[in-house]
Amino acid sequence: MITTEGGAPVEVRRSARRTRTVAAFWENGTAVVAIPARFTAAQEKEWVQRMLAKLHRQGERRSAAGRKRPASDAALASHAAQLSERYLGGKAAPASVRWVSNQNSRWGSATPADGTIRLSDKLRPMPQWVIDYVLLHELAHLLVAGHNAAFWKLLEAYPETGRAKAFLEGVSFAMARGLQGSEAANGAVRPGQEHWTDDAD
């Protein structure tokens, strides 16, 4: 069985409709490489290695971008205000937003009564679009307490909601099986849709 450098499974899909291109993307934690049906075994091996390398480099770039996060509590609060304005019409106005190290089972928490939001330190190595999703999730809880239809409607405007949820589910899955948080966030499991296409000719 083929696996990525991080140990994720790899699926090779041959398609008669695909004649000139090779594609690679993540699907539910599996790296999928789609190739033309006409490829020989040698061509398959070459292109799978090439496309997995591209996915790996793309993941490293995303991880590096994720480290450019708001480092201080003040910067985090300012960023939360920007996200609220952009995606929630500024309706969610937290009294404070800060990083905490004592949340072992949750990515974040919100207390509507006093308007406070706390994000787990475990999010720090993750991509910024994942951190933004968790921030928006907690901002939405300042407006709607539960996870009902009204709550999820608030998050519809954020384009990465589905992908970020899948990413966090993948990280939780990996961590539950003994991987450290940074390993899970930076390469061991990468669910979602990172997609590369290349010309096979």
Beta strands in 41-137 (DSSP E): 96-100, 108-111, 116-120
Q: Over the stretch 54-74, which tens digit does the pLDDT of each residue have? A: 877 776 665 554 445 677 888
d(CA 115, CA 124): 22
End-to-end CA distance of the chain: 27
CA–CA distance from 82 to each of 11, 33, 65, 139 (Å)? Answer: 40, 38, 18, 11
Do residues 8 and 186 make contact, with C-beta atoms less than 8 angstroms apart? Answer: no
The whole-angstrom distance between residue 101's C-alpha and the CA centroid of its chain comes to 21
pTM for the whole structure: 0.57
Say whether 51 sits in a helix, a strand or coil.
helix
d(CA 187, CA 66): 13
d(CA 126, CA 191): 13
Q: Over the stretch 84-105, which tens digit does the pLDDT of each residue have? A: 998 898 999 999 999 999 877 7
- Tens digit of each residue's pLDDT, the chain (201 residues): 787 776 678 899 999 988 888 988 877 667 889 999 999 999 999 999 998 888 777 766 655 544 456 778 888 999 999 999 988 989 999 999 999 998 777 899 999 999 999 999 899 888 999 999 999 999 999 999 999 999 999 998 888 899 999 999 988 888 777 655 444 444 333 333 333 445 555
Do residues 107 and 123 make contact, with C-beta atoms less than 8 angstroms apart? Answer: yes
Residue 116 CB contacts under 8 Å (≥ 6 apart), including other chains: 94, 95, 96, 97, 110
